[in-house]
A and B are shown apart, each in its own frame.
Chain A
Amino acid sequence: MSAANSAHSVVEPSLNSKRIAGTIVVLYALITLIPLVWIFLTSIKSPPDSISYPPKIVFTPSLEGYCNLFTTRTRQTSDYIAALPAPVGTCDEVTRKRNMVIAGPSNFLPRFVNSLVIAFGSTFLAVFLGTLAAYGFSRFRVPLADDLLFFILSTRMMPPIAVAIPIYLMYRELGLSDTALGMILLYTAVNVSLAVWLLKGFIDEIPREYEEAAMIDGYSRLQAFRKVVLPQATTGIAATSIFCLIFAWNEYAFAALLTSGEAQTAPPFIPTIIGEGGQDWPAVAAGTTIFLIPILVFTILLRKQLLRGITFGAVRK
């Protein structure tokens, strides 16, 4: 790496060109971060601060956005509020300052829990089925395997809305519309194609000799699969799981069309958070912040496998 003390390589960029390149990249990175920083800042602004002009960079942080996200409120007269017992907690206080009282919990938490249940449920299923199928495709000659795999992949070329039409009718017949189970099955089906492709790539990289050696030692194929292949494929399985999780977590079109209440996930719910006179931006920003944090963590964990995942295993480092 250091060009200064090693023999000068003709390919190693000069220090000066590195500096210029670094400056431009850092600048770009900072600009792309602005919307995300703004989401976080808006989430800790009071509603008047959030819509002030010019936009405020310095302000007194407030938890009102988060309070509004988790509660529903009703407007009351100041006499009524004055007659109430002392407020319990920050949210109670903040709400009363706006001449309102907390009426009950909002739908955000149940919707967020739906997102968790559906994302984790479908990920587990897709990775479980995908691992088995990937092993099958990787180690055995399956008739028409390539066509089958390509067709599996091509279903992802359909716009989700197009797939949603018959799914909508099918779920209506089966009583699966607006159920968590229905969404889990659907996301599993969408994710299985990605899981099979990615995991087949990972399993292809594990030398067959390992299993064969284990089988010579008297393991059955199933035991060899469990005790030799699975431990070797852990990284691949983890990476695939995170990709499936992110898809299910972020998905909007199916969720918006096939769920309306019971099983609604966070993405269709967050845009519907309304305050007085339009969108309650601090609350929306608060919901968005909470929703994005898990993904940020996953992105950092996935750094090394990202390329493979986004190209269906077509590009490997």
Chain B
Amino acid sequence: MTISHSSIVEKAADATARATPASLARRVRGLSDRAIAWLFITPAITLLLAINIFPLIWAVYLSFTNYRANRPNAPVQGVGLGNYERVLNDPDIWQAMQTTAHFVFWTILLQTVIGFALAYLIDRKFRGHAFWTTIILIPMMLSPAVVGNFWRFLYEPQIGLFAYAVSLVSGIPTSEVQMLGNVSLAPWAIIIVDTWMWTPYVMLICLAGLRSIPDYIYEAAEVDRASPWRQFWSITVPMALPFIMLAVLFRGIENFKMFDMVTLLTGGGPGSVTEVASITLKRAAFESWATGRASAFAIVLFVAVFGLANIYVKALNKVKQR
């Protein structure tokens, strides 16, 4: 806008340009902004309320009753906090929580170490690094259920490729490499598949972290004669830390819910050494049909994840602000 002219048209145009969109919208034909905001947001929220929030509230209600889904016509009685008491005093549930924690710990540790190492190497930008990065990402896009199911074949002791490879390297006869049938190896069978599948996920987030570090910091460190080792621990790791933490958060939440892969690989067995929380929950809800108790367990799980995630996010924000 030039100010040299001061025709009425110019002034009008000026006023229009300064006008807030809201007042403008009222002047141009069509719906008001408010109506549009409502119209646009309501359908999505309605669907979420119906299929996400309402079931959640219903689960809370059910958790205070003795309702059983396989007897829909039996009278429903409120049992107060009885279900919660039973859940929190159930040794099987504590066992499942421990098993889950064990999985979460090892998968996150392995995936973070390998994922960060890979990201660090890819960040050296060797020839063809973009192509190989894409190749590495493939496993995490696949269906954990469908791929996990196929891993059972790889793990077969007599005919499986995994057993064959292990015996080739170590000399242990293939019939001895019982990954899924052995109480001490079955958890590791699952940890291996999970790590194979999700390391690329951590790698991708770490890579973003490494690429966010500006070059001039390293240049300054060079000028100060900092050793590569020192640069790594004083620049690379601290600056990539928020990203690493974010990856850990997402993997932690996901693996707390672990279900598909475990169900298809071991079904919670042998015995119950790989029975994670989701599998215990499924058994309580859809095998014992103890709907009330299962709902209480579900709520306990939700509160636990939600609480831990919140504490974690606070810590993450602290790291970010440094």
Contacts and interface: CB of A to CB of B under 8 A. Distances in A.
Q: Does chain A bind chain B?
A: yes
Interface of A: 1, 9-11, 13, 17-19, 21-22, 24-26, 28-29, 32-36, 38-39, 42, 50-55, 129-130, 132-133, 135-137, 139-140, 142, 148, 152, 154-155, 157-170, 172, 185-186, 188-190, 192-193, 196, 208, 211-212, 215-216, 218-223, 225, 246, 249-253, 256-257, 266-268, 270-271, 279, 281, 284-285, 288, 291-292, 295-296, 298-300, 303, 306-307, 310-311, 314-315, 317
Interface string B244-279: 001000100100110110011000000000000110
B40 A133 contact: yes
Contacts of B37: 136, 139-140, 142
Interface stretch (B50-58, B87-95, B183-191): B50-58
Interface residues of B, number: 107
A271 B51 contact: no
Interface in B94-134: 118, 121-122, 124-129, 132, 134
| Leading 6 A-B pairs by shortest Cβ distance | A220-B30, A162-B298, A22-B126, A252-B145, A189-B51, A166-B55
Contacts of B132: 22, 25-26, 29
B301 to A, nearest CB: 6
B205 to A, nearest CB: 6
A94 to B, nearest CB: 21
A284 B150 contact: yes
Given A25-B126, A221-B30, A284-B150, 10 more contacts: A22-B128, A39-B150, A55-B164, A157-B305, A159-B257, A160-B257, A165-B55, A166-B54, A284-B153, A285-B150
A271 B30 CA distance: 54
B173 to A, nearest CB: 11
A307 B58 contact: no
B294 interface: yes
A29 B126 CA distance: 14
B232 interface: no
Contact of B282 (A135, A158, A161, A292): A161
A54 B298 contact: no
B62 interface: yes
B237 interface: no
Interface string B119-160: 001101111110010111111111111110111111000111
Contacts of A216: 16-17, 24
B250 A311 contact: yes
Residue of B54, B201, B219, B282 with most partner-chain A CB within 10 A:
B282
A9 B72 CA distance: 73
Contacts of A189: 47-48, 50-52
A164 to B, nearest CB: 8
Contacts of A28: 118, 136
Nearest to A12: B125
Q: Is the interface of A mostly helix, strand, loop or mixed?
A: helix
Contact of A162 (B59, B72, B146, B208): B59
24 contacts: A26-B128, A35-B161, A55-B160, A55-B164, A129-B43, A130-B44, A152-B52, A158-B56, A159-B257, A159-B298, A162-B299, A166-B56, A167-B55, A211-B21, A219-B28, A222-B31, A250-B144, A252-B146, A271-B145, A291-B146, A300-B134, A303-B134, A306-B137, A310-B205
Contacts of B58: 166, 169-170
B81 interface: no
Q: Is the interface of B mostly helix, strand, loop or mixed?
A: helix
Contacts of B302: 157-158, 162
Contact of B145 (A250, A257, A284, A295): A250
Contact of B204 (A142, A186, A306): A306
Interface of B: 16-17, 21, 24-25, 28-31, 33-34, 36-37, 39-41, 43-45, 47-48, 50-56, 58-59, 62, 69, 72, 118, 121-122, 124-129, 132, 134-147, 149-154, 158-161, 164, 174, 196, 200-201, 204-205, 208, 211, 215, 218-219, 222, 243, 246, 250, 253, 256-257, 259-260, 263-264, 277-278, 281-282, 285-286, 291, 294-295, 297-299, 301-302, 305-306, 309
Nearest to A151: B53
Nearest to A272: B149
A176 to B, nearest CB: 10
B136 to A, nearest CB: 5
A161 B260 CA distance: 11
Contact of A268 (B44, B62, B145): B145
Contacts of B147: 35, 39, 288, 292
A250 B159 contact: no
B268 to A, nearest CB: 13
A33 B299 CA distance: 39
Contacts of A284: 149-150, 153
Given A136-B36, A220-B31, A13 B125 contact: yes
B141 A315 contact: no
Contacts of B257: 157-160
A186 to B, nearest CB: 6
B159 A55 contact: yes
Contacts of A279: 152-153
B281 A222 contact: no
A57 B47 CA distance: 51
Nearest to B134: A303
Contacts of B142: 250, 292, 295
A212 B21 contact: yes
Nearest to B257: A159
Contact of A133 (B43, B145, B201, B219): B43
